[in-house]
Chains A and B, each alone.
Chain A
Amino acid sequence: MSFLSYLINGISLGSVYAIIALGYTMVYGIAKMLNFAHGDVIMVGGYAALTMMLSLNAHPLVGVLVAIVVCTVLGITIEAVAYRPLRGAASPLAVLITAIGVSYFLQNVVLLIFGSNPKSFQSVVPLPDLKLADGALTITAETIVTITSCIIIMIVLTTFINKTKTGQAMQAVSEDKGAAQLMGINVNKTIALTFAIGSGLAAVAGVLLCSAYPSLSPYTGSMPGIKAFVAAVFGGIGSIPGAMLGGILLGVIEILAKAYISSQLADAIVFAVLIVVLLVKPTGLLGKPIQEKV
């Protein structure tokens, strides 16, 4: 029974990684850049929700919505101010370094406003836990909400990308920006939209993460951010199902390693698995370079 409960916890943590990884992978797929500030957007989302709930006594759902709006606006602003001017830069390192700069900038702004002490986060899921098998297996309400959100996000996002005109424009931009422009697609707008979606998802991930692990500091975003980046690479960066699969596997591996091997070594094991996967399949689990005839 304890294995089952570890597994469920792993899937739940993995769902959070997956939602964050979606932001990484979509931005990478379309803007061809690694947005290392993505983890810190999660943290900003957490503070936005917390401020709404504590200072303004808002309903948790309002807190979540405000967090989504704040992060979406933040994502669009970061892209327009920090990344867009560098899109034509000679070296792709310029934008990568800028992303790291943005990451520190966000951490320090939050540090200035809210201080360095961790704040205890109030769960946004005011529901009772689910007890199964006469109380031998407890599934928290946060777990259920997290996994459900992840599934819904996956379905909505896949439908959006494959079925809508805007979604297909995103795919076109990710493949060939020049050809996409010749079709009449506004590349800047499409990239901004990608940042908006990724950052909105980061807000959801932030709120879910803080509900499950209720402590929030200016550095809360960095570790999940890095893990989600690993998850995206693990699943095949640029691939949306890959980010989902990578995230969930990563969460499960991490929790099982903590439970059965050593909690100190858990992160090392996670990264070791990544290295092995990349040695065997350098494009990640689902990242397949399509065979293109010329």
Chain B
Amino acid sequence: MAMLEVKDLEVYYGMIRAIKGISFQVNEGEVIALIGANGAGKTTILHTVTGLLSPKKGSVVFEGRDITKVPAHKIVSLGMAHVPEGRRVFAQLTVYQNLMMGAFTRTDKGEIEESLAAVYKRFPRLEERKNQVAGTLSGGEQQMLAMGRALMSKPRIILMDEPSMGLSPILVNEIFDIIQKVSAGGTTVLLVEQNAKKALSIADRAYVLETGKIVLEGDAKELMNDDSIKKAYLGE
């Protein structure tokens, strides 16, 4: 059984049908990429999965439980974390306070400390800057903070929305390395990216979105060699 199963999802913005009936699955341990151009509906899908938007039709099932109508603030304690597009760190809180917000629903102080130590180990830069206000971090550091904050909830699946956006190529490599390490650590990853090449290089499987529909799906390596994908998304 799939860990996360999205079925026949339809999402509207007012009268506009942004997501036109899509279905996909994420199995435990996989890295799944949703790729597609700007406006294809990638972010809308993630927002619907974590309850920030409600679908008109369709369902979202996580670990056998229908979470379609579960409000956003109850999602994280089910084991699903979402690193939103544009990082959305709390600019006026310190790095440390941001990380603790990530552990908001957890109560065991000892375990929270362990998670904090693990996040600091993975992102030494965050420990160096733990008392700095998050709004003054660089873009790459904010992305690390957003990821660290999500990991503080000890998720079994992590949804990442455009983690490479606005970052230099070196930083993009660094962020993707970290995503691979998170995956190797046993967390399932659902990755949304415009940088299709990078996303396909670390994903197991991928879905290609165009204007609210899935037009192609399959093994990430095979998709990378697909001629239409090469032309449309890989710039070859």
Binding site for B on A (CB under 8 A): 165, 168-169, 171-172, 175-176, 178-187, 290-294
A194 CB to nearest B CB, Å? 16
The answer to whether B92 touches A183, judged by C-beta atoms less than 8 angstroms apart, is no
A25 CB to nearest B CB, Å? 15
The answer to whether B74 touches A175, judged by C-beta atoms less than 8 angstroms apart, is no
Count of chain B residues with Cβ under 8 Å from any Cβ of A?
Answer: 35
A290 to B89 alpha-carbon distance, docked (Å) = 13
The answer to whether A172 touches B91, judged by C-beta atoms less than 8 angstroms apart, is no
Partner of B104, one of A176, A183, A290: A183
- Nearest 3 interchain pairs by C-beta: A184-B105, A181-B72, A179-B88
B68 CB to nearest A CB, Å? 16
The answer to whether A185 touches B135, judged by C-beta atoms less than 8 angstroms apart, is no
* Interface status of B136 (Cβ within 8 A of chain A): yes
Partner of B76, one of A171, A175, A182, A294: A182
Residues of chain B with a CB closer than 8 A to A175's CB: 90-93
A282 to B92 alpha-carbon distance, docked (Å) = 20
Q: Assuming A179-B84, A181-B72, is B100 touching A294 (CB within 8 A)?
A: no
The answer to whether A293 touches B52, judged by C-beta atoms less than 8 angstroms apart, is no
| 22 A-B pairs (CB sep. < 8 Å) | A169-B101, A172-B90, A178-B52, A178-B88, A179-B84, A179-B89, A180-B101, A181-B51, A181-B52, A182-B75, A182-B84, A183-B76, A183-B101, A183-B104, A184-B76, A184-B77, A185-B73, A185-B104, A186-B73, A290-B92, A290-B135, A292-B136
Binding site for A on B (CB under 8 A): 50-52, 71-77, 81-82, 84, 88-93, 97, 100-102, 104-105, 133, 135-139, 142, 149, 153, 166
Chain B residue at minimum C-beta to C-beta distance from A169:
B104
A169 to B90 alpha-carbon distance, docked (Å) = 10
Chain B residue at minimum C-beta to C-beta distance from A182:
B82
The answer to whether A165 touches B90, judged by C-beta atoms less than 8 angstroms apart, is no
A180 to B93 alpha-carbon distance, docked (Å) = 12
Residues of chain B with a CB closer than 8 A to A185's CB: 73, 101, 104
Chain A residue at minimum C-beta to C-beta distance from B86:
A294
Partner of B138, one of A183, A290, A291, A293: A293
